[in-house]
Amino acid sequence: MLKVKDVHKSFGELKVLEGVNLEVNKRERVGIIGPNGAGKTTLFNIISGFLRPDDGKVIFKNKNVVGLRPNQLAKMGLVRTFQIVKVFSNMTVEENILTISSDLDYLKDFGLWEKRREIAANLSYGELRKLSIALAIASNPKLLLLDEPFSGLSPKEARELADIIRDIHYNGQSIAIIEHRLSDLFDVAEKVLVLNSGKIIFEGQPDEVVREKSVIEAYLGKKYAKVFA
């Protein structure tokens, strides 16, 4: 479905990605973790056409898509959400969906059916997050990129969203998720890649990642220290 091959990206002197390789197979849910500033969002920006890599390839559906614009990629089925929620806040929930699809059943899958006549601006943060992901799903993507979908959610909202993400396999789409909230991510991801200073330092199943020494040193150690401070 997606192959990122030896991608490099610098902003001026700052090397942000240094030879990143990544593969997402059909129907696979892949997690991407790593410290702040590791280059995770930059990687998504490159995959989704918002940024051009200095070097390397992004192969989507067997085609090198470097140079294609985000809207061209979205038409091919590569869709992303942002760290900041983007919906039409002055429209109702169902009007938001109708801008993308005539099928309102997506709202049932996302637990938003009861709220369909509500103006989006009146939704809770968790509902807004669900709506933004429902919008992405309504465009029928083959590959969905989610940047920190759990951030800002209560534990209950996060659990609900994790259940939804695990269940949404319309047309067998694949999902890649950037996330700092690891217990929520590990609920949904089958494979996890760890990005540190622009390099993938480990790839494995969630239970392997948390035991890996290099990952604990680069990321988890600091994170757990913060949690228990």
Ligand X SMILES: Nc1ncnc2c1ncn2[C@@H]1O[C@H](COP(=O)(O)OP(=O)(O)OP(=O)(O)O)[C@@H](O)[C@H]1O
Is residue 81 within the footprint of ligand X (CB under 6 A)? no
Is residue 129 within the footprint of ligand X (CB under 6 A)? no
How many Å apart are CA 185 and CA 166, to the nearest integer?
Answer: 10
Residues 9-28 interacting with ligand X (rule: CB under 6 A): 11, 16
DSSP structural state of residue 18: E
**Among candidate residues 23, 133, 34, 157, the one with its CA nearest the CA of residue 82:** 133
Is residue 42 within the footprint of ligand X (CB under 6 A)? yes
Least distance in angstroms from the C-beta of 182 to ligand X: 13
Phi, psi of 52 (to 5 degrees): -100, 135
Residue nearest to Mg ion (CB): 41
Nearer to Mg ion, 110 or 219 (CB): 219
Rounded (10°) angle between helices 125-138 and 155-167: 10
Is residue 77 within the footprint of ligand X (CB under 6 A)? no
Is residue 29 within the footprint of ligand X (CB under 6 A)? no
Is residue 226 within the footprint of ligand X (CB under 6 A)? no
Q: Give residues with Cβ within 8 angstroms of 162, minimum separation 6.
A: 150, 184, 187, 188
How many Å apart are CA 211 and CA 208, to the nearest integer?
Answer: 5
Q: Residue 42 binds which one of Mg ion, ligand X, none, with CB within 5 to 8 A depending on kind? A: ligand X
Binding pattern for the stretch 24-43 against Mg ion, x by CB under 5 A and - elsewhere = ----------------xx--
Q: What is the CA radius of gyration of the chain?
A: 17
> Hey, which bits of 25-159 come out as E strands?
29-33, 55-60, 63-64, 78-80, 143-147
Q: Residue 129 binds which one of Mg ion, ligand X, none, with CB within 5 to 8 A depending on kind? A: none
Is residue 39 within the footprint of ligand X (CB under 6 A)? yes
Q: Residue 36 binds which one of Mg ion, ligand X, none, with CB within 5 to 8 A depending on kind? A: ligand X
> Interface with Mg ion by CB under 5 A: which residues?
40-41
> Interface with ligand X by CB under 6 A: which residues?
11, 16, 34, 36-42
